[in-house]
Structure 1
Amino acid sequence: MTDAVLKRVAIRKYTAEKVSEDDIKALIAAFQASPCGMHQADVMQMTVVEDENLLSEIEQVTSNACYNAPLLFIINVKKGNEFGERDASVAAENLMVEAATLNLGSVYLMNAANVLNSAKSLEQKLEVPEDFETSVIVACGHAAEQPNDDRSNRYKVVRK
């Protein structure tokens, strides 16, 4: 298993340091490399939010559910598509593993995504098309904490 997969943990506290442009480009490339069901690449898109005013507004609308991360990846999927949410989750994992490779922290946020779907004026600012909805948000930045959790025996595994 790769070090990045083992290194990736949910980070819920970030420093104020901005993520570099090179790192953002690498994270976008990780998103672009995500698989998509039945080659339907038109059912998913991502909005990268680094503008402080938009970040603040998102925090306010989501009751600080994005942990004041300096960078958000908002993954939107076409409403009613059978692959959209699955594709978004795989894309989020790509982002989080790449973030770990870049020594950045990240966390998968579903509840904040659900709240964002009801904030229509904010969705317009984020240029989410009307036939799309937010499936997941990945908060990302420089970690201000490093959780120490042993995940070596987290789930039941059956081998036959």
Structure 2
Amino acid sequence: MNTFENIITRRSTKKYLDKEVSQELLEKIIETGRYAPSGGNSQSNHFLVIQNKQIIAHLVKMVEKAFSQMEITENMYRSLQNSINLSKKGGYVFCYNAPVLIIVANKKDYGNNQADCALALENMMLEANDLDLGSCYINQLK
């Protein structure tokens, strides 16, 4: 698949198969994230891969609890408002039951942390698409 085709065919996946992703494919995806540009070439992103279903379920509960305690504000974007409302009702699953979570993190006080993480994630989502794997960008967690 060429670059243009990869970019225009990538979509956010919100339904996943209950199927393990191989170590080889995960390493390819992470490697593309490592090659993303970063402010000042800091290369300070950290990559955390979670495949353990119990840990993912625990994270889902933690996120739902935190979101259920949030208040909706005037300038909040719609998907975050929807997530808060779903959390208050119960049953909010921020990761759409994906079998793998890849968290890209950076230094909290680094001024370019969100941009650097987003660049890495875009590379990784394009690689996942090229490998016929679904992905979804979730930027509601800090």
TM-score interval w.r.t. the shorter chain?
0.7 to 0.9
Encode CA deviations 1:12-67: one digit per residue, 9 max, x unaligned. Answer: 1111011122211110111111111101123x211111112111111222231111
What is the CA–CA distance in structure 1 between the aligned matches of 2:104 and 2:49, rounded to whole Å?
A: 9
> Which residue, out of 29, 40, 55, partners 2:31?
29
Q: Aligned AA for 2:106?
A: V
> Which residue, out of 7, 10, 15, partners 2:9?
7
The residue aligned with 2:54 is 53
> Which residue, out of 103, 108, 116, partners 1:79?
108
Greater helix share, structure number: 2
Q: Aligned AA for 2:19?
A: E
Q: CA deviation at 1:2?
A: 2.3
Q: Aligned AA for 1:45?
A: H
Please state if 1:68 is matched with 2:69. Answer: no
* Paired residue total: 112
1 or 2 for the larger relative contact order (CA 8 Å, sep ≥6)?
A: 2
What is the CA–CA distance in structure 2 between the aligned matches of 1:58 and 1:13, rounded to whole Å?
A: 18
| 3-state SS of paired residue (2:111) | coil
Over 2 Å off, 4+ runs: none
Greater strand share, structure number: 1
What is the CA–CA distance in structure 1 between the aligned matches of 2:28 and 2:9, rounded to whole Å?
A: 17
| 3-state SS of paired residue (1:82) | coil
Q: Aligned AA for 1:3?
A: E
Q: Aligned AA for 1:92?
A: L
Q: What's the % identity of the aligned pairs?
A: 27
| 3-state SS of paired residue (1:47) | strand
Q: CA deviation at 1:8?
A: 0.6
Structure 1 unmatched runs, 5+:
115-160
What is the CA–CA distance in structure 1 between the aligned matches of 2:60 and 2:15, rounded to whole Å?
A: 14
TM-score normalised over the length of structure 2: 0.74
Structure 2 unmatched runs, 5+:
65-92
| 3-state SS of paired residue (2:137) | strand
